[in-house]
């Protein structure tokens, strides 16, 4: 029904094998075992050390790891055939004394809805969007390249970022992404491949995108850090859209510090995205990430959460109780709060109408694709996959939307203001530095609807061996303080986990 099913396609498998063989023949220094789980700082120190491995060595090592492991995971949808060439050029720059920044020579994976102006596809996992490559890099990709990052390839995702309909992590092009910790466990969506790849050590860094939970959920389920910034902090130019009111790219990494480094690299004013013009400029998001950051911080926590339709006390969540104990032991002042639920009755209706207009506009402007509109994409999918079952229910709902932009604007304005109020009332009313909740509370939805920042940080594993996560969030443009709190928790908890293959 969805094309190739579990595993990568024969074409992608061949491409991965070919690139890996090229990498192996060019590697000049062995890369030590477990390098796949090194931090950006550690990788940079190795590349700067006389006799240490190079960026090209690292790229070749990761390409070989992808060739061996990704058939189990289907996290990678396409490798960049230019990655080794780019890495070698960056190695020459380093040898000549030019280092662009902390990401110089560091491999980065991109979700397959982020444009690259090279030979790679930007398809959101859909065969209907396979054709001519994009004409230029997305703004955040330009920034990453300027900082010396090596674009290693594209990651799998829930097709059309979840707006086709189907299981999390499944796309026609990439098959079914699997959770590296347990291949039958939930992988989350829609940035499934980015989360699974970082978790599995296929790359140190990845970029995901989120409209509502698409960074936070897969990061939590795969045991990595996922940071969803305030809407507008990172430009959306060159990213296949859903809603300009909700969309944002964001880092997916193995540490809070590395997520902050990625924010430093990707942020910047983009005249093509009006929301980014309002964002703070020139901020060093690593500046507050230091020991003792939690002392005397007022952190609100949700005293109740919902499970299976039942409202439960935080005492019923042993994992979250441990998170609170860690925060308290570091000197944080914990404040129990109850979060008001904003009215989300029309959220889906408004979102689908946005998706219809913005995706139609995108497809109409993108050159060299087999479809030029949502309705043409639906027809393409039916011709390719048949009509025996409804394999694109969400996309059909999107196409059936009738709300005009003029009708939507006041409704969106009121809804977003209401969701912002649910966070602002707590932060301001209780004089809080940040909020924390168990991932299972689904508070990430309210934060996403408000356009506010949130970060998922691993907190351990449950009885089934599946990762658990603590979720921190705060007000608009509150990234520096939020990152400091999340980093303080991460360093104290020390629960970074690796999957066992």
Alpha carbon 362 to chain centroid, angstroms: 21
Given the residues 214, 243, 456, 469, the one annotated as active site: 214
Spell 151-166 as b/e; 16+ CB within 10 A means b. bbbbbbbbbbbbbbbb
Question: Residue 352 contacts by C-beta under 8 Å, 6 or more apart in sequence?
Answer: 394, 397, 398, 401
Side-chain-side CA neighbours of 460 within 13 Å: the count stands at 15
- Alpha-carbon span 433 to 145, nearest angstrom: 34
Q: Which residue has the tokens 């003792």?
A: 292
- Told to judge if 214 belongs to the known catalytic residues of this protein, a careful annotator would answer yes
Question: Residue 174 contacts by C-beta under 8 Å, 6 or more apart in sequence?
Answer: 4, 8, 9, 12, 74, 76, 77, 112, 125, 156, 157, 193
- Told to judge if 123 belongs to the known catalytic residues of this protein, a careful annotator would answer no
DSSP symbols for 231-259: TTSS--TTB--S-TTT-EEEEEESSHHHH
Copy the structure tokens of residue 445. 């939805």
Given the residues 20, 55, 172, 190, the one annotated as active site: 190
Given the residues 9, 20, 111, 459, the one annotated as active site: 111
- What 3 state SS string does 433-492 have? CEEEEEHHHCHHHHHHHHCCCEEEEEEEECCCCCEEEEEEECCCCCHHHHHHHHHHHHHH
- Pick the closest to residue 191 from 123, 124, 117 (CA basis): 124
DSSP symbols for 191-221: SHHHHHHHHTTS-SEEEEEESSSTTHHHHHH
- Told to judge if 313 belongs to the known catalytic residues of this protein, a careful annotator would answer no
Q: Which residue has the tokens 């996959």?
A: 385
- Alpha-carbon span 130 to 185, nearest angstrom: 30
Side-chain-side CA neighbours of 142 within 13 Å: the count stands at 15
- Alpha-carbon span 280 to 60, nearest angstrom: 37
Report how many helices (DSSP H) and strands (DSSP E) the chain contains, helices first: 16, 15
Could you give the residue numbers annotated as active site? 111, 190, 214
């Amino acid at each position: 029904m969805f094309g190739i099913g579990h595993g990568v396609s024969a074409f992608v498998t061949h491409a991965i094998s070919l690139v890996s063989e090229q990498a192996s023949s060019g590697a000049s220094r062995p890369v030590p075992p477990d390098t796949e789980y090194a931090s950006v700082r550690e990788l940079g120190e190795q590349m700067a050390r006389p006799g240490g491995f190079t960026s090209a060595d690292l790229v070749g090592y990761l390409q070989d790891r992808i060739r061996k492991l990704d058939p189990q995971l289907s996290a990678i949808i396409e490798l960049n055939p230019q990655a080794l060439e780019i890495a070698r050029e960056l190695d020459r720059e380093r040898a000549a004394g030019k280092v662009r920044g902390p990401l110089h020579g560091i491999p980065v994976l991109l979700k397959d809805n982020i444009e690259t102006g090279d030979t790679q596809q930007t398809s959101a996992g859909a065969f209907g969007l396979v054709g001519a490559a994009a004409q230029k890099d997305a703004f955040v990709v330009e920034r990453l390249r300027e900082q010396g990052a090596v674009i290693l390839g594209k990651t799998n995702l829930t097709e059309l970022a979840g707006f086709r309909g189907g299981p999390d992590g499944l796309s026609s092009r990439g098959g079914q992404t699997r959770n590296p910790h347990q291949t039958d466990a939930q992988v989350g969506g829609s940035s499934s491949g980015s989360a699974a790849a970082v978790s599995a050590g296929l790359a140190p860094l990845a970029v995901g995108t989120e409209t509502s939970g698409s960074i936070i959920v897969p990061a939590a389920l795969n045991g990595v850090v996922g940071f969803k910034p305030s809407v507008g902090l990172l430009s959306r130019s060159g990213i296949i859209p859903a809603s300009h009111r909700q969309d944002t790219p964001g880092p997916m990494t193995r540490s809070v510090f590395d997520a902050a480094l990625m924010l430093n690299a990707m942020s910047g004013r983009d005249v093509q995205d009006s929301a980014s013009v309002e964002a703070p400029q020139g901020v060093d998001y690593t500046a507050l990430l230091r020991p003792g950051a939690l002392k005397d911080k007022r952190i609100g926590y949700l005293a109740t959460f919902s499970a299976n339709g039942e409202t439960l006390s935080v005492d019923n969540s042993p994992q979250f109780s441990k998170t609170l104990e860690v925060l308290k032991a570091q000197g944080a002042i914990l404040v129990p709060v109850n979060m008001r639920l904003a009215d989300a009755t029309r959220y889906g209706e408004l979102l689908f109408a946005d998706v219809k207009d913005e995706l139609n506009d995108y497809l109409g402007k993108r050159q060299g694709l087999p479809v030029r509109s949502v309705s043409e994409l639906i027809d393409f999918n039916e011709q390719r996959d048949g009509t025996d079952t409804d394999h694109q229910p969400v996309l059909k709902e999107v196409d059936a939307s009738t709300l005009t932009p003029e009708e939507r604007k006041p409704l969106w304005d009121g809804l977003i203001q209401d969701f912002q109020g649910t966070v602002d009332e707590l932060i301001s009313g209780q004089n809080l530095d940040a909020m924390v909740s168990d991932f299972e509370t689904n508070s990430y939805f309210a934060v996403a609807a408000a356009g506010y920042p949130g970060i998922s940080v691993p907190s351990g594993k449950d009885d089934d061996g599946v990762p658990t996560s603590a979720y921190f969030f705060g007000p608009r443009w509150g990234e520096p303080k939020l990152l400091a709190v999340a980093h303080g928790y991460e360093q104290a908890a020390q629960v970074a986990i690796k999957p066992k293959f």
